[in-house]
Amino acid sequence: MSDSDLAIPIIDISNPSPEVAQQVLSAASTHGFLFIKNDGVTIPPKDIDDMFELSRKFFHSPKETKQEYAIHSATAGGINRGWVSMQGEALDPENQKVAFNIAPPSPSTPLQPLPTPLSTSSPLISRFQTSCHTLCQSILSLLNTALQIPDSEYFTSRHDQRKGESGTIFRMLYYPASHKDDTKQTIRAGAHSDYGSLTLLFRLPGQPGLELLHPRTGTWVPVPVDPSSPSSPSSPLSNQPPPPILVNIGDLLSFWTCGLLTSTVHRVVFSGGEERYSMAYFCHPLDGVELGRVPSGVIDGFTGRESVQGRRAGALEEQYRRLGLEDGRGEGEGVGVGVLTAKQHLDRRLKVTYGL
Ligand SMILES: O=C(O)CCC(=O)C(=O)O
Ligand SMILES: [Fe+2]
């Protein structure tokens, strides 16, 4: 596979079948990225547009209001919630972005405290998060099928948010225009992999910048906003059909599947003259889910095959390295003495990122 043939497929999952499941697995294990055709129903395009409009209003609201809801603060509702300024995250020194993290509503707790204008749109935010989760569950169910896991609800029951707390988080992102040098390409979100099971990423037509690190060649490859319409107009208000939804595999799902699914490194790079918005839904399993090897003959076949070729060590060791567990066995916090839980996995990643 060379740079030019890194074609991320657009998969129509409206009629889930074993063939569709196979397409999802194939993209998830080669690129770690795939597009899902937007059926116009699961995540209503109007909600996506309204969320971007809300995001624009929010990021242009007074800085003092946003700062009160600083990430991890009690005002923002606790760990990994709230406002992140560009210096707040240890991803990359050139990082120039701001974000606001919102945890999903749970049956016991309503939405976390929100500043205006987010607070007046909580029904939209809750509905959007719920529909993102529904799409994640459909993708997880297809992966369950393709991996031939005997329990057909193995993944979905472990991501059932009605059953308890999870690390799932919805993030609104804003990359302000830079007035320093508006022609030079700069790194706006440093190279990283996502932490959870799946990420859904929403971007606007005319606002490219996302690049992925080609898993085999090690070169940066742009990810188009809408691959079905290469000449998409720069206006987000056009009457085009909604772009497909970009999905990528996170570290937790890669770790859980012994490296069969690929958590691909990506970044955001663009020249500074214009502002850019995006939204990411990071889906995680319930906190107590144990990340022992998923019971799948497909994974067993993969690890048997790959260990002969020496790649198993590489894929899994890379996941341990991202957890700060260099020797692959770990010390303390339940790692090495038992099976890592989803919460322990996330805590380790947050520790590496924020030094918590
Ligand atoms: O803004 C983007 O396009 C990507 C953001 C991203 O990768 C992230 O927040 O994890
Ligand atoms: Fe990301």
Mutate to test the pocket of ligand 1, among 210, 276, 277, 349 (most ligand atoms within 8 A of CB): 210
Task: Report whether pLDDT(108) > 60.
Answer: yes
Mean pLDDT of 136-164: 97
At 230, list the tokens.
Answer: 């290469």
10 membership: H or E segment, kind and range: strand 10-11
Span from the CA of 267 to the centroid of ligand 1 (angstroms): 7
Mean pLDDT of 164-170: 94
pTM: 0.91
Sheet of 266-271, strand order: 185-192, 266-271, 210-213, 220-222
Using the atom order of ligand 1, give the atom closest to the CA of residue 266.
7
- 273-296 pLDDT, tens digit per residue, is 789 999 999 999 999 999 999 999
pLDDT value of residue 333: 39
Mean pLDDT of 103-127: 90
The residue nearest atom 9 of ligand 1, judged by CA position, is: 280
C-alpha 95/C-alpha 173 separation (Å) is 12
Q: To which residue do tokens 């993708």 refer?
A: 139
Q: Looking at per-residue confidence, does 166 or 187 come out higher? A: 166
Span from the CA of 101 to the centroid of ligand 2 (angstroms): 13
10-229+240-289: what fold?
Jelly Rolls (2.60.120)
Mean pLDDT of 18-22: 98
Task: Report whether pLDDT(200) > 80.
Answer: yes
| Residue 254 near ligand 1, beta carbon < 6 Å | no
| Residue 246 near ligand 1, beta carbon < 6 Å | no
Q: Looking at per-residue confidence, does 190 or 155 come out higher? A: 155
Q: Are 206 and 233 in contact (CB under 8 A)?
A: yes
At 6, list the tokens.
Answer: 């890194």
- 25-42 pLDDT, tens digit per residue, is 999 999 999 999 999 999
The neighbouring-strand residues paired with 348 are none
Position 332 confidence tier, pLDDT thresholds 50, 70, 90: very low
Annotated domain spans of the chain: 10-229+240-289
Task: Report whether pLDDT(112) > 60.
Answer: yes
Cα 11–134–73 angle (5° rounding)?
120
Span from the CA of 86 to the centroid of ligand 1 (angstroms): 13
ipTM score for this prediction: 0.99
| Residue 278 near ligand 1, beta carbon < 6 Å | yes
Percentages helix, strand, coil for the chain, rounded to the nearest 5? 35, 20, 50
Mean pLDDT of 124-134: 97
Position 179 confidence tier, pLDDT thresholds 50, 70, 90: low
Burial of 21 (0-12, 13-18, 19+ CB in 10 A): buried
C-alpha 159/C-alpha 102 separation (Å) is 17
Q: Looking at per-residue confidence, does 218 or 284 come out higher? A: 284
The residue nearest atom 3 of ligand 1, judged by CA position, is: 210
Q: Return the ligand number nearest the Cα of 193.
A: 2
pLDDT value of residue 331: 43
Using the atom order of ligand 1, give the atom closest to the CA of residue 175.
1
pLDDT value of residue 310: 62
| Residue 95 near ligand 1, beta carbon < 6 Å | no
The neighbouring-strand residues paired with 279 are 172, 202
Mean pLDDT of 66-82: 90
Q: Return the ligand number nearest the Cα of 210.
A: 1
Span from the CA of 261 to the centroid of ligand 1 (angstroms): 19
Amino acid at 38: N
